[in-house]
Amino acid sequence: MPRPSDTLWDIAVAQVSKKHEEKENEEDLEVRERSVFFLGNKSGGKTTIILRFLDRDEVPKPTLALEYTFGRRAKGHNTPKDIAHFWELGGGTSLSDLAQIPITIDSIRRLSIVLVLDLSKPNDLWTSMEKLLIGTRNHINTTLNELGRKDSINVNDIKQRTWKTLQRNHPDWELIDPFPIPLVIIGSKYDIFQFFSNKAESTISKMRTILNHLAFGTDRSKTVSVEYNKPLFVPAGLDSLSLIGSPPAAEVDLGKINARNPIDLWKKVYERLFPTENTSELKDIRDPAKDPQYAEPEVDTMRTQKDQELEQYKRNASKSWKEMQFDTRR
């Protein structure tokens, strides 16, 4: 019911929101499909998390590029099953361009990102996090722009949802640039820092709750754990920089650090304590065809010929495409 103070624009926005809610309620009665895209450090435990969530008793294998699997969940007796698509990016930061495969205009409305960071490699942690989040955000923004040209209402709905987890009076409201779609960050290998098994059921239970919410739309947990001597569990919007406080850097004069904001301050202090190592994950991703130990003269000659043919085909296809565009404009 419109309020007397509502403008025509307010009433129009309310009507559009109502239609979206009705549409989503209708979809709830049908098969729902969601996608969860896992990325993070190499050998950081992404595959293990997925297999554990799907109750698959398999030995995890290294993910070479981009792998796909799926899970199903029944909503009730004799009702269609919801489907969750799980994508996993291998290679750490070196293969981030493959993110454009799971991030599409068809999947973006029901897509979530899970970033798995290896706590046993603190020197690579912050750099990997930044590279992967920046690269993924760029793919998402490109996809949203493409979708916006076809369906601007859907894009506005996606953008509005990113703010719904925050209250307007949140102390960090002015500092926050929310990730465009749901994002969960998991610190893996926490068991290395404790004196008991990593099979702790409470941690596994929390992980299941998170993934069930992302994959099947179940209620999200609002439990908060910020005790430093326990695994952290912080749902979006339920913590703040003021509560976290300043970096515990006794040997560093924080006043002499040139930081643009609290997050930048934390980054600079962190990198002083854990300097980024001069290694690149790209060095670990070698092309076997160029490795001398796998040299096969006849095969290599044929491979070179095929590579040249492929490049020629690309050039010809590019010329044809440009000519088509030129003819269309006339």
Q: What is the pLDDT of residue 283?
A: 46
For 243-264, write each residue's pLDDT tens digit.
888 887 766 677 778 888 888 8
In this prediction, residue 328 carries a pLDDT of 38
Intervals of the chain under pLDDT 50: 26-29, 196-198, 280-285, 318, 320-322, 324-330
Residue 21 has what pLDDT? 57
- For residue 236, the model assigns a pLDDT of 86
Domain boundaries, the chain: 28-242, 295-329
pTM: 0.72
Q: Which CATH number is 28-242's, of 3.40.50.1820, 3.40.50.300, 3.30.300.10, 3.50.50.60?
A: 3.40.50.300
Tell me what pLDDT residue 329 has.
40
pLDDT at 314: 55
**Residue type (1 letter), 276:** T
Give residue 79's pLDDT. Answer: 67
Query: Any residues with CB less than 8 A from the CB of 75 and at least 6 apart, and which?
Result: 81, 82
